[in-house]
A and B are shown apart, each in its own frame.
Chain A
């Protein structure tokens, strides 16, 4: 078993309900368990289909049982499916060494649609994120997913990016195997394609 760069390794996946967060955390943690690690996942989704903020805490350990919630400031990786939500999670859970992988596509909260709040320009959000943490990978995950076949596969693009980041202690094959075991037919093909797009985007 390769060494974890942290024990436990704390990963937060965040986004908006309906973006497929939970599925991404499922793939990550099933793959981790397959690779022989112990995992604990805490999902905060509430009534998730209904467009609120969602957040999965994924904790991977070599051999220790762990609680499902990551303490503040102790995330090693934040994978953000939506810029504003990424920013929100970073402010609470990141430290200067946290690595951030972020989708650049905003999903506008109701208050912004109603004109009561203003959604900050995504480029500004990226700049702000870079002020807090030094390693930030931004990618057009929704756009890439659309090219792969459906904007809804953005979660797989992001999962691919996570797998390629070198931050998770197990290889791509565990992810592929998990995706293959969870889906069939066209959805499987789409998800594998989207995963690959995200993977090659980061691994170069």
Chain B
């Protein structure tokens, strides 16, 4: 949980680390030389952590423009014999998949580890993709830590495994590992002493079916190694008839659930740390004794399906087994089997259903009375753009401009903080959201539909980091094919969503060294697309320019540039903003409580006692936008600079 912990040199001590720090530490202990990533939750902090210690350990650390490029760079280091790491979220593996699949065929040299962060329950993602299925498709081995400490150990060991198999190894971590913390026992930090080499005549290629055969052999080899791996372990009685097969943090939940149900003595738990390829003979050893098998994993029934297929192949030896899991419907959270996260309660509930053992949580007797006392329904808490977020001002301007324009213009969205434009905080303005850069491609298509009679103005919004990551090809396509839409580039000068990482539009790199800034204006104008620039905090001017540009034809870009409000106030004295109680006349104004109810910055609150608007000073970031919108000019901004 501290960078000091990651830096600690003494092997054997226990320090508290986050899952992401522990992955970084594991890589350091393996002597990683090259690390590249595009930030994505839940794994964003792995590279950030390595960037902090890059100097002292002489490793190369970069924020890449996207995950595919990151993986390609890391592969290069591996081809020369160095150890390399790439980190991405599940969606990032989709982006990198084309190359990852090719790399799985060519194989690698220096140990190469791909950390993939899956996000069951989609806490900070648009989907809860289970990347293990993709890894199986492209033939890459998968390790799956069940705890913070194991994330470190697995990352470290994955490098040797990768060298042994000459294949990249995926360490699949879920949010409950990445964003968890725990004490870990440190090993020794290894400094890389290898000299990179790639000679004339060296070849790493992807070609022909001979390599496919070799790929299968590597996986067979991996399966044999996994049967002896310390990451797979069994606890419970000898020859358990009831066996839980658990992977990831579901292993910890399963142990706790058994304890809560008092079933630990009679139930065996097989922890599977190597989830692909399956350690077949190890599994068969346990399946032979079992008559009931329960699966505990996230998200999809991946181990479940593959173990059932294994059992089907060996049915003659292992006899009849009843399988309980997502397919049978027994292991399921509130949203249904195979949807959402696991936790100890869900597993205890499932085991109780399967075994008949009683499961009771401690009861809170006053709950009903307490709710009655409140008199009203407990308000939910939507996600909201931060106070002072430039996107709120931008959305407000787009919404107003489209109303003024009056032709029923549509707005397409993309991935970033501004995805919240689908929700109340963004006036529900976004009508499509899919994946990085998709909005621009979709706008390109919409902008070609006029020949069929589709004549609505089309606006698509994209953030700066997403622009570099995935929007540029779609923009080239739009220019080439003369599509008709307006791109609003919400440039908050950072990758805000994942914790303010830099990108190619910035002037420094991951490790804080000077970078050659790639200006988005240059790219856009270079493609031949006209491009204007505006500060979204000036709402009036922004509405004007949008209205004007809506009248133009062809692809065109408006950059709304203003630093993310959080980044802007970090470490600085904020402007003081307050409501002048004499000027604000409350509901008599007729503005409909504009600042709180309509514009809805979370710091614009309503003071029920005075019947007037108020600014919550603990929340306000001092942007001053509400002050420019208040029809009575009742809000005052005291600038600190």
Interface residues in chain A, defined as those with a beta carbon under 8 Å from any beta carbon in chain B: 16, 18, 25-26, 29-30, 32-33, 37-47, 49-53, 65-69, 71-74, 84-85, 87-88, 90-91, 94-96, 105, 107-115, 117-120, 124-125, 127-129, 131-133, 142, 146, 151-152, 154, 181-182
Contacts and interface: CB of A to CB of B under 8 A. Distances in A.
Contact of B379 (A46, A72, A109): A109
B537 to A, nearest CB: 19
B382 A39 contact: no
B535 interface: no
A67 B364 contact: no
Contacts of B378: 84, 87-88, 120
Query: Interface size class for chain B?
Result: 35 or more
Given A71-B343, A71-B344, A114-B600, A50 B364 contact: no
B386 A50 contact: yes
Contact of B424 (A18, A29, A37, A114): A114
B209 interface: no
A113 B373 contact: no
B380 A109 contact: yes
Contacts of B334: none
Interface stretch (B248-256, B460-468, B483-491): B248-256
Given A39-B16, A67-B147, 13 more contacts: A25-B181, A26-B2, A30-B2, A43-B180, A47-B41, A51-B382, A67-B255, A69-B176, A69-B343, A84-B379, A91-B364, A110-B600, A132-B365
A154 B618 contact: yes
Given A40-B180, A95-B362, A128 B253 contact: no
A126 to B, nearest CB: 10
Contacts of A117: 376-377, 379-380
B363 A95 contact: yes
A68 B252 contact: yes
Given A46-B123, A90-B364, A111 B593 contact: no
A91 B424 CA distance: 26
A52 B381 contact: yes
Contacts of A133: 364, 366
Contacts of A32: 16
A107 B617 CA distance: 11
21 contacts: A18-B619, A30-B16, A40-B182, A41-B1, A46-B123, A49-B386, A50-B386, A50-B417, A66-B252, A73-B362, A84-B381, A88-B378, A95-B363, A95-B364, A105-B618, A110-B384, A111-B379, A119-B379, A124-B373, A125-B374, A132-B365
Contacts of A181: 2, 4
A74 B374 contact: no
A112 to B, nearest CB: 6
A45 B179 contact: yes
Interface SS, A side: mixed
Contacts of B183: 33, 37-39
B364 A41 contact: no
Contact of B600 (A91, A113, A119): A113
B210 interface: no
A133 B124 CA distance: 32
Nearest to B376: A118
Nearest to B566: A49
A12 B593 CA distance: 36
Given A46-B124, A71-B348, A132-B367, A113 B602 contact: yes
Contacts of A182: 2
A33 B15 contact: yes
Contacts of B348: 71
Contacts of B385: 50-51
Contact of B181 (A40, A46, A67, A88): A40
Contacts of A118: 376, 379
Interface in B363-413: 363-367, 369-371, 373-386
B585 interface: no
A124 B386 CA distance: 28
Contacts, number: 216
B370 A151 contact: no
Contact of A72 (B345, B606, B616): B345
Given A30-B1, A124-B375, A50 B344 contact: no
B596 interface: yes
Given A107-B619, A111-B382, A113-B606, A47 B364 contact: no
B69 interface: no
Interface in B165-186: 176, 179-183
Contacts of A108: 602, 605, 616
A128 B378 CA distance: 12
A156 to B, nearest CB: 14
Interface in B609-628: 616-619
Interface in B451-465: none
A41 B382 contact: no
A43 B361 contact: no
B144 interface: no
Contact of A85 (B41, B371, B381): B381
Contact of B361 (A18, A74, A154): A74
A52 B373 contact: no
Contacts of A154: 618
Nearest to B379: A117
B374 A128 contact: yes
A115 B593 contact: yes
B366 A131 contact: yes
Please give me the 8 A-B residue pairs with the lowest Cβ-Cβ distance, nearest first.
Answer: A67-B252, A117-B379, A151-B618, A73-B362, A95-B362, A33-B16, A128-B370, A41-B181
Contacts of A38: 182-183
A63 B16 CA distance: 14
A59 to B, nearest CB: 9
B254 to A, nearest CB: 9
B260 interface: yes
Contacts of B16: 29-30, 32-33, 39
A29 to B, nearest CB: 5
Nearest to B417: A50
B191 interface: no
B194 interface: no
A96 B579 CA distance: 43
B90 to A, nearest CB: 15
Contacts of B384: 50-52, 110
B155 interface: no
Nearest to B374: A120
B406 to A, nearest CB: 25
Contacts of A88: 378
Contacts of A46: 123-124, 383
Nearest to B176: A68
Chain B CB within 10 A, most for which of A47, A52, A87: A47
B321 interface: no
Nearest to A107: B619
A142 to B, nearest CB: 6
Contacts of B260: 71
B67 interface: no
A40 B362 CA distance: 22
A105 B182 CA distance: 31
A67 B253 contact: yes
A149 B86 CA distance: 42
A142 B600 CA distance: 22
A75 to B, nearest CB: 10
Contacts of B425: 50, 110
B386 A120 contact: no
B604 interface: yes
Contacts of A110: 381-382, 384, 424-425, 600, 602
